[in-house]
Structure 1
């Protein structure tokens, strides 16, 4: 099974020049390493919306994919929604995937189940793949509620399949789940590989229960993944790759993570 390593740049870098430098370093380093984006690992980056078209243009004719960090819940196309970018608009800018449900969106923008269901519907209607982020807070983890929280978050997938049952046959190739414990994002705190593996197994079993075509869905881990710990995560068969934050802003560290997963899947 092919691994995925996705860089979520968040609100970085600051300027278009910095973006182009990062991309040039990424492609040059990958080429020097005989393609860190090997047959075993698919690379993708998710720039901020303002840089999306430029990143997409730079990555043309390269094996690296481009994703949006978010899309509008209000309309999949156009409308009077100041500040929003629709699924159609980000697809036109060159994105082929979008992140949805990141904990920072859930926290700072109070994204609800209904909001995420609307966004996922728009994404699929416009031909975008979805990287759906789930995960528990520190308080929920300490209370032993991780699996219950995840089960509730995953019902967005169950509900969209109820609304659009025809999606079941294609969703395996259009949906990636990223498990990111909120308490591990950018904190340096990292769950054990055994904990992540068990949680991923639960996620896969839960989603498989929504339909036969979703058996063994791709599940990534995110939360303080770096070049030093990537090998340990990559060695576990339940962990299909990584959603990477800060370490994706340096070509060398991002590609080291990709190489770790690529070596395990090649």
Structure 2
């Protein structure tokens, strides 16, 4: 199975100059470093930089994604500050991140909101990286799997309400498991914990529909160049959604190389 390593730049870098420098480093590294076969790279810049990034990486092996889309409309409308799936696709992105814990926390994104966003993305031919994960309190209370099941129910509702979107969904939907307590904190669950959680996610998705038996499930949460090999070595972990380590070409490519080596074995 192909591995995926996706860089979520969040609200970084600060300037267009810094974005260009990061892309120059990344494109140079991709063109000169070996051991990237079997690993798809993607970056998700902030909206203000999305068009420029998409143009800059056109023709390379790197894909671009948005960090969010509007829940209100798939195309246009009177929704100040929002950007639709159609506009994101027009900007050159082919994927979007949805359901990131920071969006859930800071913008109170609900089940219904995420269902609308996923529907809009898929109808506009955007792939979806759907983020799920538990808080520290939920982890401590051993509620991880129950929380994940509730979050994954967005997909069952999608299949029930929009069955026509089932076609090719396994190739247009990626699930990213990110324990909230591990994002940017330096705290990292054991590989065994992540593997068991990923196995549960894959089994749950397969129970929704047999066409989802081979879904890609990524891990995110303080993934870096030092721990990437251990995650990549586990067959349940199909890649990584990377935060801070994606802001330096060297560390981002080191993570990608770890997964590339693993797919070759």
Asked if structure 1 preserves the Cα contact closer than 8 Å seen for 2:123 and 2:165, the reply is no
Q: Name the TM-score, length of structure 1 as normaliser.
A: 0.98
Contact 1:168 1:214 in 2 (8 A): no
Distance 1:213 1:152 in 2: 20
The TM-score normalised by the length of structure 2 is 0.99
The aligned residue for residue 42 of structure 1 is: 40
Q: Encode CA deviations 1:159-208: one digit per residue, 9 max, x unaligned.
A: 00001223223100000000000000000000000000000000000000
Q: 3-state DSSP class of the match of 1:209?
A: helix
* Match of residue 31 from structure 1: 31
Equivalent position of 1:249 in the other structure: 247
Alpha-carbon deviations, 1:60-85, whole Å to 9, x = none?
11000000000000001001111100
Deviation per CA, 1:18-69: give whole Å up to 9, x if none: 00110010010111213x5x33100000000000000000001100000000
> Counterpart in 2 of 1:207?
205
Work out the CA distance in 1 between the residues paired with 2:229 and 2:136.
Answer: 25
Q: Give the Cα–Cα distance (whole angstroms) in 1 for the partners of residues 166 and 49 of structure 2.
A: 33
Match of 1:76 in 2: 74
Q: Unaligned stretches of 5+ in structure 1? A: none
CA contact (8 A) 2:130 2:175 kept: yes
Q: Is the contact made by 1:4 and 1:240 (CA closer than 8 Å) also made in structure 2?
A: yes
> Alignment length, in residue pairs?
264
**Whole-Å separation in 1 of the counterparts to 2:242 and 2:82:** 24
Greater shift, 81-90 or 157-166, is seen at 157-166
2:111 matched to which residue of 1? Answer: 113
Cα contact 1:40–1:264 (8 A) shared by 2: no
Root mean square deviation, CA, Å: 0.7
CA contact (8 A) 1:178 1:220 kept: yes
Residue aligning to 2:129: 131
SS in 2 for 1:242: strand
What residue in structure 1 maps to residue 17 of structure 2?
Answer: 17
* Structure 2 portions without partners, runs of 5+: none
Retained in 2: the 8 A contact 1:168–1:211?
Answer: no
Matched, 1:226 2:224: yes
- Following superposition, which runs of at least 4 residues in structure 1 exceed 4 angstroms of deviation? none
How far did residue 141 of structure 1 move?
0.2
Asked if the contact 1:100–1:133 (Cα under 8 Å) also holds between the matched residues in 2, the reply is yes
Q: Residue 134 of structure 2 contacts residue 147 of structure 2 at CA under 8 Å; is this kept in 1?
A: yes
Tell me which residue corresponds to 2:2: 2
